[in-house]
């Protein structure tokens, strides 16, 4: 039996960041992980898919280069070398995973390779080894996509990790799902030249986010050549292809699972944790129903985002050290890596209306922004929602190149409880895309300058 102050089960963005923070605070810490460090996000999710999306987007930029005055490029001859794109992706993933291992060791965290199975609230079994957590056990076991829909079509239904192992791109494929993962995968396939369909049980894409974002995504995917089948389910397969519940035949080689995710709880039966809609129930600091046991990341169902998991990991360890700084999940940004990108934080118009909050809206299109025009990227907008009486920023929704970087300004504004006019008083450099944030903020009071 080896004793530690803190034992963490799971080396994804929630667990490994919790380990680093615990090490910083001088806690003797063990982190248990059966696979490569970084979890789903680094190895089979966020990082590899974005690396491939970047390759596919570069292909599109080359094909459009004549619009920028670049001559001599035969747009019909250029293509994506999938094998090289995969090699680049794997190199990036390996580098970042090793970087995470280095950071754990740098902060004095002991890495234990193997499947961690808690025996009680203090003890975790890893193979034949028993590890004790004297202060706290932090669970960060993550999630996996719901595979229920694939039961109707068998082997043609593949998971993301299998997709990322393909040595060749298919001629045709479908994606199942309606959230960020599904729409990113659909765009990746389409940009890479694959005949692509997106099948969703929901009638609207991104239903959890502001409605304007879902509408824009549908238009963007159609523009890229993706065929949308909304409000449909997978029914059966035969030698001709895959059938939907309305008898539509999809002549595709396989369906990639981009469904909503479910928590991985199979190793936690001994803890008798209280659940909330299938996820581990936690308080604002990550404490579960079992004394001395915390849970962070996807298994709690709070954000299903890597950076949200990391914030939860820090929050949990801080609480152990007597620092009470809960995560405000209304202020965790969502990033979706389409082209242009999508980023959102705070409340949507629909949520504001449901909660009976009176609000003002500022809307600024990229067509009126100098930087967007000179880049030839005018498809998008910035929408700022502010509380009607005092003007506090309540939500920001962006469709723009580098929107995933731009959203940090909104996150800071909301963290500081700034008003939209506070943002509008900040001098933004020109010409930049960030000026759209200024203009949309001023627009909440009908003070927009360039429109």
Q: Cα separation of 396 and 233, whole Å?
A: 33
Q: Is 430 a catalytic site residue?
A: yes
Q: Cα separation of 175 and 254, whole Å?
A: 8
Residue recorded with tokens 């519940």: 245
pLDDT in tens, the chain (451 residues): 799 999 999 999 999 999 999 999 999 999 999 999 999 899 988 999 999 999 999 999 999 999 999 999 998 899 999 999 999 999 999 999 999 999 999 999 999 999 999 999 999 999 999 999 999 999 999 999 999 999 989 889 999 999 999 999 999 999 999 999 999 999 999 999 999 999 999 999 999 999 999 999 999 999 999 999 999 999 999 888 899 999 999 999 999 999 999 999 999 999 999 999 999 999 999 999 999 999 999 999 999 999 999 999 999 999 999 999 999 999 999 999 999 999 999 999 999 999 999 999 999 999 999 999 999 999 999 999 999 999 999 999 999 999 999 999 999 999 999 999 999 999 999 999 999 999 999 999 999 999 9
For 267-301, the DSSP string reads T-GGG---EETTEEP--TTSB-SSTTEEE-GGGGT
3-state SS record for 26-91: CCCEEEEECCCCCHHHHHHCHHHHHHHHHHHHHHHHHHCHHHHCCCCCCCCCCCCCHHHHHHHHHH
Return the sign of the alpha-carbon dihedral for residues 11, 12, 17, 18: negative
For 147, 289, 401, the CA distances from 260, given in Å and listed in that order, are: 9, 25, 26
Domains in the chain (CATH in brackets) are 2-144+262-329 (3.50.50.60), 147-259 (3.50.50.60), 340-443 (3.30.390.30)
Residue 102's contacts (CB-CB under 8 Å, 6 or more residues apart) are none
User: Taking the CA atoms of the chain, what radius of gyration do you get in angstroms?
Assistant: 23
Catalytic residue among 307, 319, 402, 430: 430
Please give the order of strands across the beta sheet that includes 249-250: 234-238, 241-244, 249-250
pLDDT for position 154: 86
Nearest residue to 334 via CA among 168, 214, 169, 203 = 214
393 sits in which H/E element: strand 393-400
Residue 90's contacts (CB-CB under 8 Å, 6 or more residues apart) are 48
């Amino acid at each position: 039996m080896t004793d530690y102050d803190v034992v963490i089960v799971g080396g994804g963005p929630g667990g490994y960041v919790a380990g680093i923070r615990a090490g910083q605070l001088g806690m003797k810490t063990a982190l248990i992980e059966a696979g490569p460090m970084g979890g789903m996000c680094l190895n089979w999710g966020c990082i590899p898919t974005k690396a491939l999306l970047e390759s596919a987007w570069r292909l599109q930029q080359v094909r459009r280069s004549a619009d920028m005055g670049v001559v001599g490029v035969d747009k019909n001859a250029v293509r994506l070398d999938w094998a090289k794109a995969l090699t680049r992706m794997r190199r990036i993933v390996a580098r970042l995973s090793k970087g995470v291992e280095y950071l754990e060791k740098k902060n004095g965290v002991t890495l234990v390779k193997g499947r961690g199975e808690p025996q009680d609230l203090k003890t975790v079994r890893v193979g034949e080894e028993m590890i004790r957590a004297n202060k706290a056990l932090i669970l960060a076991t993550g999630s996996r996509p719901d595979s229920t829909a694939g039961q109707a079509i068998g082997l043609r239904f593949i998971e993301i990790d299998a997709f990322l192992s393909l040595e060749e791109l298919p001629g045709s494929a479908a994606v199942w799902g309606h959230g960020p993962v599904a729409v990113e995968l659909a765009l990746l396939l389409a940009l890479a030249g694959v005949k692509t369909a997106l099948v969703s049980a929901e009638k609207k894409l991104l239903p959890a986010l502001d409605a304007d974002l879902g509408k824009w995504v549908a238009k963007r995917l159609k523009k890229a050549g993706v065929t949308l089948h909304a409000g449909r389910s997978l029914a059966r397969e035969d030698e001709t292809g895959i059938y939907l519940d309305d008898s539509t035949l999809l002549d595709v080689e396989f369906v990639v699972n981009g469904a909503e995710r479910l928590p991985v709880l199979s190793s936690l039966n001994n803890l008798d944790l209280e659940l909330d809609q299938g996820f581990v129930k936690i308080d604002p600091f990550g404490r579960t129903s079992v004394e001395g046991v915390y849970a962070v990341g996807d298994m709690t169902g709070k954000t299903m985002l890597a950076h949200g998991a990391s914030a939860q990991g820090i929050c949990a360890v801080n609480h152990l050290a007597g620092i009470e700084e809960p995560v405000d999940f209304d202020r965790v940004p969502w990033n979706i890596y389409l082209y242009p990108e999508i980023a959102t934080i705070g409340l949507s118009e629909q949520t504001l209306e449901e909660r009976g909050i009176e609000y003002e809206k500022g809307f600024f299109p990229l067509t009126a922004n100098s930087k967007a025009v000179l880049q030839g990227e005018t498809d998008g907008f910035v929408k700022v929602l502010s509380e009607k009486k005092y003007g506090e920023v309540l939500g920001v929704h962006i469709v723009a190149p580098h929107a995933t970087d731009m959203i940090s300004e909104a996150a800071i504004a909301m963290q500081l409880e700034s008003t939209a006019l506070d943002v509008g008083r900040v001098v933004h450099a020109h010409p930049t895309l960030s000026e759209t944030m200024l203009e949309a903020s001023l627009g909440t009071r009908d003070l927009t300058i360039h429109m």
